[in-house]
Amino acid sequence: METTGGIIRCGGAAYVLLGLLLLTTLTRISALSVTVNDVECIYEYVLYEGDTVSGNFVVVDHDIFWSSDHPGIDFTATSPAGNIVHTLKGTSGDKFEFKAPKSGMYKFCFHNPYSTPETVSFYIHVGHIPTEHDLAKDEHLDPINVKLAELKEALESVTAEQKYLKARDTRHRHTNESTRRRVIFYTVAEYLLLALVNPERRTMLAVFNKSVAKSPVELQQSPQNGAVSALKDGFLATHFSSTHSGSFVINLASSGFFAYSSSRQNPLLPRLFAVADDMFCLFEGHIENIAALKQQYGLNKTANEVSIVIEAYRTLRDRGPYPAEQVVRGIAGRFAFVLFDATSQSTFIASDVDGSVPFLWGTDAEGHLVVSTDTEIVKQGCGKSSSPFPKGILS
Ligand SMILES: *[C@@H]1O[C@H](CO)[C@@H](O)[C@H](O)[C@H]1NC(C)=O
Ligand SMILES: *[C@@H]1O[C@H](CO)[C@@H](O)[C@H](O)[C@H]1NC(C)=O
Ligand SMILES: *[C@@H]1O[C@H](CO)[C@@H](O)[C@H](O)[C@H]1NC(C)=O
């Protein structure tokens, strides 16, 4: 903070003044920096009534690490009489200028409505240009000094502008770094979570009667493969329930069954199950373009991943506007899902094109199709006749 309210009295050579100007410009390069917790005020004395008070401030350390909608900083300038002469609301920085209604101590306050402290870079300048009134009063003052004072003021406003831009630049750099930090943080957190919950993740299973879904030809059984009958006496469903805590089995009568465990879910790849109009769907993973898909399929805000898959299938079945593979490719993210349509007795099974969710399929001893995210379960039912589910392709 600095004041340059003095009148230039020396009528000396212009270069002396120029040198002085340069010196003052150099010494005033850094603006004042204040950390605003709640309210912070700065005082500045204005020597003459009618002086131009100008300045700017920029919230440099806009600490929006967790929240992106900071309401901004409020700014007020109060005159010695207590009147508010200038006010700015909810801003990340701005310039201001006003004519001082009277001389005296002016108060400049920043109000931060948010609980996180913010650093504000603040710059103020009180400019005084001598008037004819001053000229009459002071015999040392001549018109050339007035011109020089005007020149000084012009130079001052250039300096102020530079400071403002510099502060804004710093602010952008901070925001950029904060965004990058945030991205890195979330990526690291995601990997940690994945590492933590990975062992418990493979817990979704569907078995379909061969009359409903065709098993892959290359996985057809030969007697020595060690497979069992997955559907007989509910063998695989029972095995699944006994090895997975908090599991659910959805019986599809003679068509097969769905089973999934809802305990210890990966929060980033949740398992979801839904039934709508006799369509049963088990979904694991997450969809990135969820908002766009909701719009595409005319779903409201409450729709989740599994309802999107059901709607995508319904569109495919009823209107078939494009190939099924295109529908799956249109879903961005990491996922695997199994859908059974009881009305048409057909299945719709897919995983994302990258195969991010471990997903296997196999054939049991009787030729029924087994799909699961659990290697051990598929081995139990199909022996050696299992393989990773073909990425992104439907059954
Ligand atoms: C923000 O960072 C990106 C890359 O990390 C860079 O390309 C961009 O120029 C930066 N923006 C600013 C204002 O520094
Ligand atoms: C498979 O479906 C056929 C035809 O619907 C049925 O006769 C058979 O009992 C089913 N098998 C099982 C194990 O439910
Ligand atoms: C959203 O749609 C579902 C069915 O698709 C309906 O049950 C639900 O009431 C709808 N919610 C709103 C807020 O419209």
Residue 158, domain CATH: 2.60.120.680
Residues 215 and 333 in one domain: yes
Instruction: Please write the tens of the pLDDT for every residue from 93-141.
Output: 888 889 999 999 999 998 888 777 777 888 888 887 776 666 666 666 6
Number of Cβ within a 10 Å radius of residue 344: 11
Encoded amino acid at 31, one letter: A
CA–centroid distance, residue 309 to ligand 3 (Å): 16
Pocket around ligand 1 at a 6 A CB cut-off: 172-173, 176, 180
Has residue 296 been placed in a domain? Answer: yes
Does 9 map to a domain? Answer: no
Same-domain check for residues 312 and 347: yes
Asked if residue 254 has its Cβ within 6 Å of ligand 2, the reply is: yes
If one counts every other C-beta atom within 10 angstroms of the C-beta of residue 257, the result is 22
Question: How far, in Å, is the centroid of ligand 3 from the Cα of 16?
Answer: 78
Structural domain count, the chain:
2
Q: Is 187 in the pocket of ligand 2 (CB under 6 A)?
A: no
Q: Are residues 95 and 225 in the same domain?
A: no
Residue range(s) defining the domain that contains residue 22: 14-185
Cα of 176 vs centre of ligand 1, distance in Å, is 6
The whole-angstrom separation of Cα 388 and Cα 358 is 8
> Residue 338: which CATH number?
3.60.20.10
- Whether residue 98 sits in one domain with residue 206: no
CA distance 225 to 365: 9
Are the C-beta atoms of residues 212 and 380 closer than 8 Å to each other? Answer: no
What is residue 293's three-state secondary structure?
helix
Q: What digits encode the pLDDT tens for the residues 16-50? A: 444 444 444 433 334 567 777 788 888 888 888 88
pLDDT of residue 230: 81
Residue 1 lies in a domain: no
With tokens 């603040």, the residue in question is 122
Distance 209 CA to ligand 2 centre (A): 6
Coil, strand or helix at 171: helix
Q: Residue 41: left (phi > 0), alpha (psi -120 to 50), or beta?
A: beta
Nearest ligand, CA of residue 213? 2
Report pLDDT for 310: 92
Q: Whose CA is nearest to atom 9 of ligand 3?
A: 302
Q: Which residues are bridge partners to 126 per DSSP?
A: 53
Same domain, 101 and 241: no
d(CA 185, ligand 1 centre) in Å: 18
Question: Could you give the CA distance from residue 108 to residue 289 in angstroms, rounded to a whole number?
Answer: 47
* Other CB atoms within 10 Å distance of the CB of residue 188: 10
Identify the domain boundary among 185, 210, 240. 185
Find the ligand nearest to 303 CA. 3
Same domain, 351 and 211: yes
Ligand 1 atom 10: residue of nearest CA: 176
Q: In the prediction, which pLDDT does 2 show?
A: 38
| Domain C-terminal end among 185, 218, 244 | 185
| Whether residue 168 is found in the same domain as residue 304 | no
Q: Does residue 181 form part of some domain?
A: yes
Instruction: Report the pLDDT value the prediction gives residue 390, as an integer from 0 to 100.
Output: 78
Name the residue among 125, 122, 128 with its Cα closest to residue 47.
Answer: 128
How many Å lie between the centroid of ligand 2 and the Cα of residue 215?
15
Q: Tell me which amino acid residue 80 is.
A: P
360 with 231, same domain?
yes
Specify whether the CB–CB gap between 86 and 52 falls below 8 A: no
Determine how many CB atoms are found less than 10 A away from the CB of residue 20.
14
Ligand nearest to the CA of 184: 1
- The predicted structure's pLDDT at residue 391: 63
245 and 117, same structural domain?
A: no
Predicted pLDDT at 188: 65
- Is residue 80 a part of any domain in this protein? yes
Residue 242 in any domain: the answer is yes
Spans of the chain below 50 pLDDT? 1-30, 64-67, 198-200, 202
Instruction: Judge if 208 and 181 occupy the same domain.
Output: no
Helices (H), the chain: 14-27, 132-137, 143-197, 235-243, 290-296, 305-318, 324-329, 375-382
Mark whether 93 and 216 lie in a shared domain.
no
Order the strands of the 346-351 sheet from edge to edge. Answer: 271-276, 279-287, 333-341, 346-351
- 300 C-alpha vs ligand 3 centroid, how far in Å? 6
Domain boundary among 157, 185, 213: 185
Answer whether residue 8 is part of any domain: no
CA-closest candidate to residue 208, choices 361, 17, 33: 361
User: Which ligand 1 atom sits nearest the alpha carbon of residue 169?
Assistant: 13
Sign of CA dihedral 372, 377, 383, 387: positive
pLDDT of residue 272: 79
234 in any annotated domain = yes
**Can you read off the two tokens belonging to residue 343?**
């009305």
Edge-first strand order for the sheet with 32-36 is 32-36, 118-127, 52-59, 93-99
211 CB within 6 A, ligand 2: yes
- Return the pLDDT at 194: 56
Q: Is 233 helix (H, G, I), strand (E, B) or coil?
A: helix
Distance CA 315, CA 126 (A): 69
Ligand nearest to the CA of 297: 3
pTM of the predicted model as reported, rounded to 2 decimal places: 0.51
Residues 310 and 255 grouped into a single domain: yes
Helix H or strand E encompassing 141: none
